[in-house]
């Protein structure tokens, strides 16, 4: 059986393994087809490509784009993109542009709580200084002993309504899909179970996404519970979306997610890779 993992991160964004280390780990875990989907960044693709050829793994070029939809932040994964497409590269550079200022504001908010040096600490953990993310702040806070794990630190500090959360205006849904499509890729809604928007708003999102040319939805992910898988399988069928699968792996032992360690897609789903020439 071919094992797919179509969502993971390297040090090019907020992962802890370099692109080459990530590909080697995926191969060791038995993954046959891997998509590297760093946040708003494609700089790790060439390194990952070289190692994928060496170990005999099929690498899918991908990216995870941050999107503002209404007052909600979403993530859209682009799969099978051309990593050198100028439209996509320009759009991603624009999306990255506000991240440093946002990180400084998060650091300032945490300092008001008495947690000093958070920006500097998060920056030290980010290999790509254009991509200091909430995950880097979370790792810093765990190291400082402020929280015991990722789930706890996000829940206490870094999600909407909490003291370390800073709102930011990302690309619109239509912009993100235009960039992905310009690069020859297909767009996938990432980990939909994480968005606390309710069923009706989810249906509005999927309807708009489909109308804009969106192709797929992650049905099996590292953050979905077993009960959520059939819910998103049904929505995939209802909105004629292809189903994707991805661990959203960032680091060994972090968040309980590991490369390739996922259940298969429900049989009633049409997989995102069905039209790929693999």
Digits of tens for pLDDT over the chain (278 positions)?
A: 899 999 999 999 999 999 999 999 999 999 999 999 999 999 999 999 999 999 999 999 999 999 999 999 999 999 999 999 999 999 999 999 888 999 999 999 999 999 999 999 999 999 999 999 999 999 999 999 999 899 999 999 999 899 999 988 999 999 999 999 999 999 999 999 999 999 999 999 999 999 999 999 999 999 999 999 999 999 999 999 999 999 999 999 987 789 999 999 999 999 999 989 87
- 132 and 182 in a common domain: no
- 88 and 68 in a common domain: yes
| 211 belongs to a structural domain | yes
- 92 and 66 in a common domain: yes
Task: Give the end of a domain, one of 137, 158, 179.
Answer: 158
Specify the pLDDT at position 277. Answer: 81
| 106 belongs to a structural domain | yes
Quote the domain boundaries for residue 183.
4-96+170-275
- 149 and 32 in a common domain: no
- 136 and 84 in a common domain: no
Q: How is 77-98 classified by DSSP, letter by letter?
A: EEES--TT-HHHHHHHHHHHTT
- 209 and 152 in a common domain: no
Integer Cα distance of 24 and 19 in angstroms? 9
Residue 144: CATH number of its domain: 1.10.150.650
- 131 and 109 in a common domain: yes
- 191 and 79 in a common domain: yes
Ramachandran angles phi, psi of 198, nearest 5°: 80, 160
Total domains, the chain: 2
| 163 belongs to a structural domain | no
Integer Cα distance of 164 and 102 in angstroms? 11
Residues listed for the chain: 278
Specify the pLDDT at position 98. Answer: 83
- 215 and 87 in a common domain: yes
- 36 and 125 in a common domain: no
Specify the pLDDT at position 257. Answer: 86
Q: Which residues pair with 187 in a beta bridge?
A: 78
Element (H, E) at 74: strand 72-79
Specify the pLDDT at position 190. Answer: 98
- 193 and 258 in a common domain: yes
| 131 belongs to a structural domain | yes
- 92 and 120 in a common domain: no
Specify the pLDDT at position 262. Answer: 95
Specify the pLDDT at position 182. Answer: 98
Give the predicted TM-score (pTM) of the model: 0.93
Integer Cα distance of 116 and 220 in angstroms? 38
């Amino acid at each position: 059986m071919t094992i797919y993992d179509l969502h993971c991160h390297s040090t090019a964004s907020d992962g802890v393994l370099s692109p080459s280390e990530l590909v080697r780990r995926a191969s060791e875990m038995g993954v046959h087809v891997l998509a590297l989907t760093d946040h708003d960044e494609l700089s790790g693709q060439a390194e990952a490509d070289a190692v994928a050829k060496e170990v005999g793994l099929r690498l899918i070029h991908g990216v995870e784009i941050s999107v503002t939809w209404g007052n909600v932040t979403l993530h859209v994964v682009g799969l099978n993109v051309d990593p050198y497409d100028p439209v996509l590269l320009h759009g991603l550079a624009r999306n990255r542009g506000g991240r440093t200022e946002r990180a400084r504001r998060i650091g300032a908010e945490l300092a008001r709580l008495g947690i000093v040096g958070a920006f500097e600490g998060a920056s030290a953990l980010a290999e790509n200084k254009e991509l200091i993310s909430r995950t880097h702040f979370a790792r810093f806070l765990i190291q400082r002993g402020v929280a015991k794990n990722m789930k706890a630190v996000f829940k206490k500090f870094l999600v909407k309504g909490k003291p370390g959360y800073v709102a930011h205006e990302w690309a619109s849904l239509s912009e993100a899909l235009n960039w992905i499509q310009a690069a020859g890729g297909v767009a996938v809604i990432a980990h939909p179970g994480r968005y606390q928007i309710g069923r009706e708003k989810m249906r509005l999102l999927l309807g708009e996404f489909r109308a804009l040319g969106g192709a797929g939805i992650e049905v099996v992910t590292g953050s979905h519970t077993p009960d959520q898988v059939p819910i998103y399988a049904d929505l995939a069928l209802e909105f004629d979306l292809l189903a994707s699968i991805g661990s959203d792996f960032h680091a060994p032992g972090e968040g309980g997610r590991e490369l390739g360690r996922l259940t298969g897609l429900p049989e009633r789903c049409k997989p995102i890779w069905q039209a790929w020439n693999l």
